[in-house]
A and B are shown apart, each in its own frame.
Chain A
Amino acid sequence: MIEISKLTKKYGQFKALDELTLSLKEGTVFGFVGANGAGKSTTFLILATLLQPTSGSVTINGVDVTKKPEEIRKLIGYMPDFFGIYDQLKAHEYLDFYGASYGIPVEKRNQLITELLELVNLTDKRNAYVDSLSRGMKQRLCLARSLIHDPKVLILDEPASGLDPRARVEMRDILRSLKSLGKTILISSHILPELAEMCDEIGVIDNGKLIAHGSVSEIQAKLLGDKTITTRISGDSGSAVAFFEESPFVSAISHDIHEGVLSFTFKGDDEQQFHLLKEAVLSGIHIVSFTENSVDLEDVFMEITKGVELIEKQTK
């Protein structure tokens, strides 16, 4: 669906994008995460035909962005990170203007506007002036605008930035509905946890380079390696220690006798983890809880970008 190959954007000597390569299948919800200035918006601007790349290629649904930008505009719905709205238009007039801009006939437009306002929970604001809407509502209206021509690909640059927690949840719910409609969605954010919940795949960008790409769990596993598991034992914890020490997947056991808590590093997949727990229970160890320690996604992100910084410093 989306093929990005060696995409580079230079501003003088500065490389905003450095040979970025990425491939996304139809229907994927892709989260693009990176610090401010990492190159997320530059990539999106090129995809939205608003910026000319220095080199490399981008195709959406087989159409080259640089060769047929007119066709690309019909395929994509773009929502920029910062945007203005025509304040003196009413919500339905705003959508109607963009509908007309995509050449949608009047009769179809009216029906679409009703459906889209319903999708973004703004039906009751149909006749309200855009000026009177809250920031969250404006974000949702802008999202509805980007959907007016039923695009195959949605490019959303920081759609949740500046929103309060409730508005974020609302935005996330809308994106889930869009995902169920089979749209290919690209969302950027500088907050990884924000994307983790709704994305199938995540790409981490730093200094214009894609430094990690995969599912959230893949990225976690790849970057943080082994899991830490904590169990709480009632009764004889000594036998539990002996049992886990025998397992080839377990190492670095720490034991708190008073609390009955036992922690260890586990090197194995989910299936092996399941068998370990099953055997422990069957061997008579009184396991009250068995918990895989949650990994802070912010830490993962910091870890990734720190790693890149170190490599860059070393090469310099």
Chain B
Amino acid sequence: MKSRLNNPVLAKEVKLRFRSSKSFTGVLFYLLAMCIFVFGFIYTTTSLAGTAYFKPSESVILFTFLTFIQLGLVLFITPGLTAGTISGERERQTLPMLLTTSQSSFQIVTGKLLSSVLFLLLLIIAGLPVYSMVFLFGGISPVLFVKSLFFLFVTLLAIGSLGVLFSTLIRRTTVSMIVTYGSMLFFTAVIPFLFLIIIQVKQFGTMGMTPSKTYVGHFLASINPEIFFASLLAPELGMSVQEMTQVTFPLWIGYLLFYGVITIGSIWIATKRLRVNMKKHK
């Protein structure tokens, strides 16, 4: 059991990552970006209101913005960290030796993925003191805070798995990175655009009557990180999505299922494709 949990690739990757000053610089800039935003927001709000205190209703807005900033950073950083994990080993000519060891393909793939995920988790955890400043002013439920962190983790795991998959399938890191960023942009920019088109078409066709159910629209809304996180932080937004699509299925289940399938599917395919299938011998 102990040997199953022991992952040499993960241990090596963590060691290499934290031996490089780039990782610490990354954490520094991440925290700086968050601090600038939080203190800038508090300063601007208090000076505009002409008061020396910060209202609980404003802390909700701050929390929402902070969550979206973290989501944005996770979506932006994850492809960069994962899309070169396997192809990078190939380019550095270290992959053949790694593949001739007794480690299973699953161990190698998950080791690579988890090392990137752990770094992202470190970013999120390092940002927690800044993030939790909103509790000083009240108005935020700890459950909502935990929920947002959990779904942030689900998102980074899914995008990270896609990065590792493309890194396994595509030989060159540059191409793998472009494809991973492209997928991320598809989920964050193309899907909401498609959702809006579908809703517009449905509403246009009903001529003011109650629109019919649109499962595709509901599906698109539940797999888009922005719409989902907005509905998580402001439940009334989730209700309006349900009104528009006429589907009452909870968005979070759709989100969890979709990104869960993406994660499992990507890891499975990457594991299958990492090594040459010698057994396919004709």
Contacts and interface: CB of A to CB of B under 8 A. Distances in A.
B3 A89 contact: no
Contacts, number: 84
Task: Give the contact-size bracket for chain B.
Answer: 20 to 34
A53 B278 CA distance: 8
B3 A103 contact: yes
Contacts of A76: 100
Interface stretch (B14-22, B112-120, B124-132): B14-22
B278 A52 contact: yes
Interface stretch (B36-44, B89-97, B183-191, B204-212): B89-97
A156 B102 CA distance: 18
Given A84-B94, A86-B12, A55 B282 contact: yes
B94 A50 contact: no
B102 A74 contact: yes
A50 B276 contact: yes
B103 interface: yes
A85 B92 CA distance: 8
Contact of A53 (B92, B96, B97, B281): B281
A84 B92 contact: yes
Contacts of B169: none
A49 B6 contact: no
A97 B103 CA distance: 11
B8 interface: yes
B282 A54 contact: yes
B8 A88 contact: no
A148 to B, nearest CB: 9
Could you tell me the dominant secondary structure of chain A's interface residues?
Answer: loop
Interface stretch (A65-73, A261-269, A277-285): A65-73
Contact of A70 (B6, B93, B102, B277): B102
A51 B276 contact: yes
B16 A88 contact: yes
Contact of B278 (A49, A85, A149): A49
Contacts of B279: 66-67, 69
Interface string B263-282: 00000000000011111111
B103 A101 contact: yes
A102 interface: yes
A249 interface: no
B25 interface: no
B102 A50 contact: no
Q: From A50, A78, A101, name the one whose CB has the most chain B CB atoms within 10 angstroms.
A: A101
B277 to A, nearest CB: 7
Contacts of B19: 88
Contacts of A73: 100-102
A48 interface: yes
B216 interface: no
A86 B103 CA distance: 18
A48 B96 contact: yes
B97 A78 contact: yes
A49 B100 contact: yes
Nearest to B8: A100
A222 to B, nearest CB: 34
Contacts of A78: 96-97, 100
Interface of A: 48-55, 65-67, 69-70, 73-74, 76, 78-80, 82-86, 88-89, 93, 97-98, 100-103, 142, 145-146, 149
28 contacts: A49-B276, A49-B278, A52-B277, A53-B281, A54-B282, A55-B282, A65-B278, A66-B278, A66-B279, A66-B281, A67-B278, A67-B281, A70-B102, A80-B93, A80-B97, A82-B93, A83-B93, A88-B19, A93-B15, A97-B11, A98-B97, A100-B6, A100-B11, A101-B9, A101-B98, A101-B101, A102-B102, A142-B97
